[in-house]
Structure 1
Amino acid sequence: MIRLLDFLFSLFGLVVGFPILILLFVIGLFDTGSPLFRQTRVGRNEKAFTLVKFRTMKKDTASVASHLASSSSITRFGHFLRKTKLDELPQLWNVLKGEMSLVGPRPCLFNQEELIAERKKRGVLNYRPGITGLAQVKEIDMSTPELLAKTDAKMLESLTISDYFKYILMTVTGSGSGDRVR
Structure 2
Amino acid sequence: MNYQSAEFIISAAKLKDCPADSVCEVAFAGRSNAGKSSAINTLTRQGQLARTSKTPGRTQLINFFQIAEQQYLVDLPGYGYAKVPMKMKNNWQIHLEQYLNVREPLAGLVLVTDIRHVFKEFDQMMIEWARANELPLHILLTKSDKLKRGGINDALSKARRQVEGMDASVQAFSSLKRQGVDVLANKLDSWFVAAADMPAPDQ
- TM-score (norm. length: structure 2): 0.28
Larger helix proportion of the pair? 1
TM-score by length of 1: 0.30
